[in-house]
Structure 1
């Protein structure tokens, strides 16, 4: 081993702390960068594998009158389509009488295969497979009976439970969709043998395309291809609804005509009995004409319960990954760059000695390059492996309680390569820059210490009354701070970066939770929405409400949905709210503006998507209606969904029709889940109500979204804290090593150990306070940027950081500073004063 290499190993042994610190800083930076970057793809890959393995349908079509062989033949004309039909209906079942999505099980079906969690699939006619939630939330066990109500219209009412399963159609365990029976919310899905369902035809058509199996289900490419397939399918079924309605109607009328002939003959024998039968035939004819109207519901995967929300959640993590870890990594790289720079500068005399001995510039430089490469590569490789293999799995484990997923975690080579390149720039790059600068000087100059920076008057000295009252030690500390500006700025950047990262972790979680809380407290001040049937008797509904102990009051509005366009932009599914009474409406929805004066008010996110402001015009097209032009008078804040608020006057003027209420907004006292369900059931059973939705359910969904991020945020905070500590410790070590002669001098002059420590620590305290304050500002800016990136078309997040975030970030920084103080104090007690003062004389 040549002297240069031996010297390098000696340097590593002598300064193990610094070498390990460089490795740790790089490791943490790469870990969070690669780990968080890998989390989004892992979520998408896991879902893609799950839906691909179980052949989730790409398109589903539902029909009110079912599908026959001709319908299947038409669907198969779509290129590449694999077509299956399924018997499906909603039914009330179980001990709790919940709404169940009931499917007819067909063992030959290839699509939408169940993911068995326990038990087996049905083999006999009296067997049923239940949703896994039936076991976890309702306490059902294998071998028990599950009963349906008579309205379910099945071959038998009771079925033996033989298995519990997950389904790729219900990817979110917290959501099973909505229906028009029970309380309006589907609680479970179930499968019984298809022969047990009294349906003459299948009611759902499933289409799957093998060519799409390997595509990311959330990618633009997949969605565009599905949209094209859907267009072709709709083209095949263009006139099919009317044709099928006529055929079914003709068959029904033929049967009724035969019955009418019998009634006509009966009139001569028993006129009263004939009259009763005639009345039944008229009713049967009316019912037939209603039932045989064929309508189709077209669905893609995005329409499945919880599916698009999962995609948005994955996008949200990807948005965080584009900002948070990058900032984290930049802080790590900056501190590493500084550490390597200082290390090389400290070795000036050694470089000068080797240069005087005749070693070439390359021979001298390469050992420092090896040192930098070793530290950078060890940190980068360890960080990449740990980050890629742990953080995505932690995220998947968190989602597993909500989603039935097969885990897929692959190495993100592109991200790892980027991390390694930046790690080497921070380590090797610093070494190259500084060594080239040092090697320009001659051996004699290098072997002498650098001339100290000349002292200059600082701003504080010019404020005489304040400066004169400072102690000698304080004056020295302030002069040193401004004398070594690069050290000051690096320490402030390190502490501010750590504070900002911790604050951002809290801010992400707080802001996501705040979107729901502010929407349903500051803006929407109602607890339930009751959607009424056409021609509903409001007095019946009012009687039910008055008997409810939690009911307080209601207001009637007209609620509809529309498509809005402006500046060639478009927003679908915008809710239009028009109150019957503006003065009453104010108690339920707080717009922050006078609706009577500003009679067309648009929600903020909708306005942003349409690129409009107050005074601009928008086009509004209700479902089945014509396009109408409105002038937006005001923009109102809103966090979830899209809303357009109209005054009664504006509604009548633009739509040219009388305003009729179809929705009630309810003020309710605090309710339990069973109380909410009971009220919704009573309202639905009245026959006047289409369904009831509660704001509490929306808040629960937002709360779940926020809770799922808690452990991820804790990981961010933990790693940010470790990075902050390592940075502070490292910079303090550099500070001490740079000023070892200065510290030895004041110790020789008679300063006590505590005074010597405070000589350094006093500067750290000032820089820590400044760093924390700067970190508050940077943390807010960073959080705001991430939230802007994480916002979806439907949801935006208000910047919210609770006081606990500020307190935690501040306390952690104070604790880290205190620990570094103690370590520095111990180190300064053992300074070799004579050795330090003799060096480079």
Structure 2
């Protein structure tokens, strides 16, 4: 081993703390960079594996009148389509009389295979497999009986529970979709033998494409491919709804013709009875003909409960990964660069000595390069392995809201490579720059210590009244702050970066939660929406509402959906609200401007997507096909969903008719879950209401979305705090080692240990305070940028950081400063003053 190599190992042993600090800083930076970058893909890959293994359908079509063999033949004409027909309906069942999505089980079905959690699949006519939630939420057990309502249209009411399962169609454990029975929310799914459903035709078509099986279900490529397949399917079914309506109508009329013939015979015997029966028959015929109208609902995976939320969740993590870890890693790299620079500068005399002995520049340089490479590579490898293998698994394990997935955590090689390159730039790059700079000087100059920086007057000194009242120690501290500017900036950057990262963690979570809270406090001020039937008796509905203790008042509006186009852009599923009473409407929806004066008001996110502003024209296609052109009167704040508000006058002028009430917005006092369900059931039982939805359910969903990020935020806070501590500790050590002669001098002059410590720590306190303040600003900017990246087509996240976030960030920085102060104090008590003051000449 050459003297140079031995010297390098001696340096590592002498300054183990510094070498370990460099490794730790690099490791932390790489760990969070690689780990968070891998979390989003791991979430998607894990779900992709689950849905691929269970053959989740790519497209589902639901018909109000079922599918005939003709429909199946049309669906099979879509290239590559595997088509399966399923009997499916919404029914009421269980002890709690909840809405159940009931499917007919078929042994031969290949798509949407159940994931059995306990028990087995149904084999006999009287057996049922229930949603896993029936076990956890309603305490059902295998062997018990599950009872369906009398009007469920089944061969029997009671079924023996033989198993509990998850389904790839319901990946979110907390959401099973919406329906128009019970309280409007599906609580469970269930499977019974297909023959047990008293239905002559299937009501759902499932289409699966093997060519799409290996695609990422959340990728643009997959979505574009599915959209093309869906477009072909819709073309195949063009006018099919009219044809199917005709077919079903003919079937109904055959039945009624037979009944009419029997009634005509009865009329000859008992005219009065026949007359009464005729009225009933006419009513039944009218209802049946309404039922004969065929409507198709087209669904892709995005429309399944929980799928979009899951994809948006992984997108949010990806958005965080594009900013948060990069910022984190840049701070780590910057501090590492400074540390390596200081290390090489401290070794000037050794470099000069070796140069005097005749060693070449490369021979002297390479050992420092090896030192830098060793620290960089060890830190990068440790960070990459720990980050890639731990963070994605932690994230997956904490996503308890979703069904248990088959974990897929692949190595993100390109991310690891980027991290390694940056690690070497921070370590080896610093060594190369400083060594080249130092080796320019001759041996004699290098073996002498650098001349200390001359003191200069600082701005504070020019404020005489203030400067003259400061103690000697304080004057020295303030001068030293500006004397060592690079250290000052590095400390501020380290503290500000840590504070900003912690604030950003809290800010992301607070802001996601705030979207729902602000939507249903600042903008929407109602607790429920009641959707009325076309011919609803509003008086009857009002009577039911007034009998409810929690009911306060309501307002009627016309509610429909529309497709908006402008500037080549399009937004679907926009809620169009036209109030009956503008005065009443103000109490339920708080718009930025007066709807009466503006005529047309558009929500902010919708306007952004369409790239329109006040005064621009919108092309509106309403449900039913009616097309109108509207001028935007103003744009209003909105956080969730897309909304277009029309005054009654604009509605009448543009559509040529008065807006009819089909929706009620309700003011309700605080309700329990049971009370909400009771009111919804009573309204549905009246026959006047299609369904009731509660703002509580929306807020609950947003709250769960926010809560799902808590563990991730905790990881960010811990890692950010750790980085800040290591940075502060490392920079303080550098400061002490650089100024060891100065500190020894003041100690020889009679300063007490506490005074010597405060000589250094006072600077740290000032820099920490300043760093925290700067961190507040950076944290807000960083959070705002991430929220902008994480926003979806439906949701805007308003920048919100709670006082608790500021408190935690501030306290952590103060605690870290205090710990470093104690460690430094202990170190300074044992300074070798004589050794430090020896001349280097």
TM-score range, shorter chain: over 0.9
Which residues in structure 2 correspond to 1:349-368 (within 5 Å)?
Answer: 349-368=349-368
User: Is the aligned partner of 1:613 residue 2:617?
Assistant: no
After TM superposition, the structure 1 stretch with the greater mean CA deviation from structure 2, 637-646 or 90-99, is 637-646
1:630 and 2:626 correspond = no
Q: 5+ residue gaps in structure 1?
A: none
Q: 1:25 to 1:179 in 2, by over 3 A?
A: same
- State the distance in 2 between where 1:114 and 1:833 align: 75
Q: What is the TM-score of this pair, normalised by structure 1?
A: 0.98
| The 10-residue stretch of structure 1 (538-547 or 143-152) with the greater mean CA deviation from structure 2 | 538-547
State the 1:258 CA deviation. Answer: 4.3
Aligned partner of 1:710 in structure 2 is: 710
Provide the rounded CA distance (Å) in 2 between the counterparts of 1:515 and 1:361: 61
For 2:88, the equivalent position in structure 1 comes to 88
| 1:505-547 per-position Cα deviation (integer Å, ceiling 9, x unaligned) | 1111111111111111111111111111112111111111111
Q: Which residue of structure 1 lines up, in the alignment, with residue 180 of structure 2?
A: 180
Aligned pairs (5 A) from 1:125-136: 125-136=125-136
SS in 2 for 1:400: coil
Report the counterpart of residue 116 of structure 1 in structure 2: 116
| 2:692 aligned residue | 692
The more displaced of 530-539 and 3-12 is 530-539
Alignment of 1:820 with 2:808, yes or no, is no
Q: Does 1:480 align with 2:477?
A: no
Range 784-793 or range 526-535, more displaced: 526-535
The residue that corresponds to 2:71 in the other structure is 71
The Cα shift of 1:428 comes to 0.6
CA gap 1:289/1:587 in 2 versus in 1, 3 angstroms: closer
1:591-670 → structure 2 map (5 Å cutoff): 591-670=591-670
Distance in 1, Cα, partners of 2:805 & 2:249: 66
Q: Distance in 2 between matches of 1:757 and 1:279?
A: 100
Q: How does 1:146-165 map to 2 (within 5 A)?
A: 146-165=146-165
Q: Which residue of 1 aligns with 2:329?
A: 329
Shift of 1:586: 1.5
**CA–CA distance in structure 2, aligned partners of residues 279 and 636 of structure 1:** 52
Q: Secondary structure at the match of 2:62?
A: strand
Superposed CA offset, 1:22-56 (max 9, x none)? 01100110111011100100010011001000000
Q: Does the Cα contact within 8 Å between 2:571 and 2:609 map onto a contact in 1?
A: yes
Counterparts of 2:175 and 2:10 in 1: how far apart (Å)?
Answer: 62
1:621 deviates by 1.8
Query: Hey, what does 1:727 align to over in structure 2?
Result: 727
Change (3 A) 1:274 1:645: closer
Deviations 1:561-600 (A, max 9, x none): 1111211111111111222222221211112322222222
More displaced stretch, 565-574 vs 788-797: 565-574
What secondary structure is seen at the aligned counterpart in 2 of 1:446? helix
Q: 1:31 maps to which residue? A: 31
SS of the residue 1:596 aligns to: helix
Separation (CA, whole Å) in 2 of partners of 1:93 and 1:696: 23
**For the residues of structure 2 that align with 1:631 and 1:111, how far apart are their CA atoms?**
47
Instruction: After TM superposition, give the deviation of residue 93 of structure 1 in Å.
Output: 0.4
Cα distance in 2 between the residues matched to 1:126 and 1:221:
44
Taking the aligned partners of 2:530 and 2:502, their CA distance within structure 1 comes to 43
SS at match of 1:73: helix
- Is 1:226 equivalent to 2:204 in the alignment? no
- Deviation of residue 284 (structure 1)? 4.7
Match of 1:339 in 2: 339
1:316 maps to 316
CA apart distance, 1:295: 2.1
1:449-598 superposed matches below 5 A: 449-598=449-598
1:255-275 alpha-carbon deviations (Å, 9 max, x no partner): 443454454455445545554
- CA deviations over 1:307-330 (Å, ceiling 9, x no partner): 111111110110011000000000
Distance in 2 separating the partners of 1:661 and 1:275:
35
Question: What displacement does 1:653 show?
Answer: 2.3
1:248 and 2:248 correspond: yes
Partner residue of 1:811?
A: 811
- Following superposition of structure 1 onto structure 2, how do residues 349-498 of structure 1 map, counting pairs within 5 Å? 349-498=349-498
Measure, in 1, the Cα distance between the counterparts of 2:30 and 2:213. Answer: 33
- Give the whole-Å Cα distance in 2 for the aligned partners of 1:274 and 1:229: 53
CA deviation after TM superposition for structure 1 residue 67, in Å: 1.5
SS in 2 for 1:180: coil
Q: Post-superposition shift, 1:613?
A: 1.8
Instruction: Look up the match of 1:789.
Output: 789
Label 1:115 to 1:8 Cα distance change in 2 as closer, same or farther (>3 A).
Answer: same
Change (3 A) 1:262 1:746: closer
The aligned length equals 841
2:801 and 2:612 map into 1 onto residues whose CA distance is 30
- SS of the counterpart of 2:595? coil
- Alpha-carbon distance between aligned partners in 1 of 2:255 and 2:712, rounded to the nearest angstrom: 65
* CA distance in structure 2 between the aligned counterparts of 1:802 and 1:56, rounded to whole angstroms: 41
CA distance in 2, matches of 1:168, 1:442: 73
Find the residue that maps to 1:597 and give its secondary structure.
Answer: helix
Give 1:249 shift: 3.0
Larger CA deviation: 225-234 vs 163-172: 225-234
1:791-813 CA distances to partner (integer Å, 9 max, x unpaired)?
Answer: 00000111111111111111111
Partner of 2:292: 292
Whole-Å separation in 2 of the counterparts to 1:481 and 1:777: 22
Higher mean C-alpha deviation, range 476-485 or range 624-633: 624-633
C-alpha contact 2:93 2:148 (8 A) present in aligned 1 = yes
Looking at structure 1, the residues matched to 504 and 582 of structure 2 have their Cα atoms a distance apart, in angstroms, of: 40
Output the CA distance in 1 between the equivalents of 2:644 and 2:253. Answer: 46
Distance (Å, rounded) in 1 between the aligned partners of 2:633 and 2:286 = 47
Separation (CA, whole Å) in 1 of partners of 2:557 and 2:363: 83
Distance 2:375 2:633 in 1: 61
Deviation of 1:636 (Å): 1.3
Indicate the SS of the match to 2:549: coil
Give the distance between the partners of 2:381 and 2:236, measured in 1 at CA.
55
The CA distance in 1 between the partners of 2:677 and 2:130, in whole Å, is 21
d(CA) in 2 for partners of 1:251, 1:651:
39
Q: Distance in 1 between matches of 2:288 and 2:710?
A: 55
Please give the secondary structure, in 2, of the residue aligned with 1:658. coil
> TM-score if structure 2 supplies the norm length?
0.98
Correspondence for 2:802: 802
The CA deviation string for residues 73-116 of structure 1, in whole angstroms up to 9 with x for no partner, is: 22111111111111111111000000100000001100000001
> What SS does the corresponding residue of 1:257 show, helix, strand or coil?
helix
For the residue of structure 1 that corresponds to 2:796, the secondary structure is coil
Alpha-carbon separation, structure 2, partners of 1:820 and 1:521: 45
Written as runs of structure 1 = structure 2, the 5 A alignment for 1:7-46 is 7-46=7-46
CA RMSD of aligned residues (A): 1.4
Alpha-carbon separation, structure 2, partners of 1:595 and 1:371: 70
Superposed, 1:695-774 pairs within 5 Å as: 695-774=695-774
Q: Deviations over 1:102-146 (max 9, x none)?
A: 000001100000001111100111000000111111111111000
Deviation at 1:278, TM superposition (A): 4.5
Q: Corresponding residue for 2:675? A: 675
Aligned-residue offset at 1:630:
1.9
State whether residues 174 and 401 of structure 2, in contact with CA within 8 Å, keep that contact through their aligned partners in structure 1.
Answer: no
Relative to structure 1, is the Cα distance of residues 693 and 313 closer, same or farther in structure 2, using a 3 angstrom cutoff? Answer: same
Superimposed CA distance per residue, residues 757-800 of structure 1 (whole angstroms, 9 cap, x where no aligned partner): 11111111111111010000000000000111110000011111
CA distance in structure 2 between the partners assigned to 1:544 and 1:770 by the alignment = 62
Deviations 1:314-360 (A, max 9, x none): 10110011000000000000000000000000000001111111111
Judge conservation of contact 2:172–2:401 (CA < 8 Å) in 1. no
In structure 2, what is the Cα distance between the partners aligned to 1:764 and 1:401?
Answer: 44
Q: 1:230 to 1:371 in 2, by over 3 A?
A: same
Deviation at 1:400, TM superposition (A): 3.1
Instruction: Describe the shift of the 1:838–1:408 C-alpha distance in structure 2 as closer, same or farther (beyond 3 A).
Output: same
- For 2:653 and 2:280, the matched residues in 1 are separated by 45
Query: 3-state SS of the aligned residue for 1:99?
Result: strand
